[in-house]
Structure 1
Amino acid sequence: MMRRDRLRTTESADGRKVVTWRLVGHDCRILRIQNRADASVAYRWPGGESLPLAGPGLVSFDESAAPDLATVRDAFPGHHDLWDALRDAYWVALLNLADLPASATET
């Protein structure tokens, strides 16, 4: 059986941006953003802690406090193409009945 909380990735249409996320209940929780066209030093958000061993253009979020789509859309408005792709992938994942755990009453 597939797990709904598995790691998922979604790319922008041009393939330059990637978001790693997890479906937690009915919420989309963001774990990482990778902008392949950005040479900036990787960092953890919101504190800005530098992540020198991570690749450039990476923004990481603590899994225990991973933000939702609305939060990252507001915090990173320059990635609207990625957020639109993620919104579409989120709804597909949310409505995928094959991905739902089996009911306790089913045999």
Structure 2
Amino acid sequence: MRSNPLRTTQIPAGKVAVWQLVNRAARILRVQLSGEAFTAYSLPSRTPLPGAQPGTIVFDADPDLVDARELLPQHGDLWDAVREEYWSALLNMSDLPSSQAGM
């Protein structure tokens, strides 16, 4: 069985998304906003995460890309970059035999 490695998408604006390709969907795990000093929290519960790096948002339920975009629409530039990397990863995965593609 093939594992689903963590993937990182970073854009010049100092935004980073950590995600996984799970069953052909991009599942977003967390976002790091460099230069932001707010106390880390989880979404959608808004639970503070004082032990995490400031500027971090951790998703409670690993939303897909559409859900993440709805939760944090102001970061469309990051979601666009994740979408590009998602399609690249998905197309590379389709080149594998189905027994190796994690299905």
Alignment TM class, shorter chain as reference: 0.7 to 0.9
Deviation at residue 100 of structure 1 after TM alignment:
3.7
Q: Is residue 47 from structure 1 mapped to residue 58 from structure 2 by the alignment?
A: no
Structure 2 gaps of 5+ residues are none
Describe the superposition over 1:7-52 as per-residue Cα deviations: whole angstroms up to 9, x where unpaired: 000012x150000000001100000000002111100111111000
Q: Is residue 88 from structure 1 mapped to residue 87 from structure 2 by the alignment?
A: no
Q: Secondary structure at the match of 2:53?
A: coil
Q: Secondary structure at the match of 2:37?
A: coil
Aligned length: 100
Structure 1 gaps of 5+ residues are none
Describe the superposition over 1:50-96 as per-residue Cα deviations: whole angstroms up to 9, x where unpaired: 0001011100023xx21010011111111111011000000000111
Deviation at residue 97 of structure 1 after TM alignment:
4.0
2 CA distance for matches of 1:101 and 1:38? Answer: 43
Runs of 4+ residues deviating >6 angstroms: none
* TM-score, normalised by the number of residues in structure 1: 0.83
2 CA distance for matches of 1:4 and 1:96? Answer: 15
Q: Secondary structure at the match of 2:4?
A: coil
State the structure with more CA Rg: 1
Assess if the C-alpha contact under 8 Å between 2:9 and 2:82 holds in 1. yes
- What letter is aligned with 2:41? Y
RMSD: 2.2
1 CA distance for matches of 2:43 and 2:34? Answer: 18
Assess if the C-alpha contact under 8 Å between 1:20 and 1:31 holds in 2. yes
